[in-house]
Amino acid sequence: MKIAITGANSSVGKNLLSEIIQHSDLSAIAGVRSEHAIATLPKSERIDNAIISYDNTAELAQQLQGANCVVHLAGILMESKTSSYYSANVTAT
């Protein structure tokens, strides 16, 4: 089973990835927003890293292709000049 995880660089996401790599029948797509975030993820041949944009639904669908399920952990806690709380937590979902 392949599990796609958005917000994979969150604490919950990293713990979920660490659990996935302990099970030989599981693999993952680790979705993050930046190259910098990829460096913080657990390493495994069964984890495919993907830089994803939640504003582009076609690109998002392509990046998550092949997943049997999605665990949606991405979101923002505070709005800033460059990020919209509503866009990240409602529209993208």
C-alpha 80: how far from its chain's center?
21
- Residue by residue, pLDDT tens for the chain (93 residues) are 999 999 999 999 999 999 999 999 999 999 999 999 999 999 999 999 999 988 788 988 999 999 999 999 986 655 555 555 455 555 555
Domain boundaries, the chain: 2-91
pLDDT value at position 37?
Answer: 96
Phi and psi, residue 59, nearest 5°: -65, -40
CA 65 to chain centre: 13
- What is the CATH code for 2-91? 3.40.50.720
Longest dimension (CA), the chain: 42
Nearest alpha carbon to residue 91 among 76, 80, 69: 76
What is the pTM (predicted TM-score) of this model? 0.82
Predicted confidence at residue 79, as pLDDT, reads 57
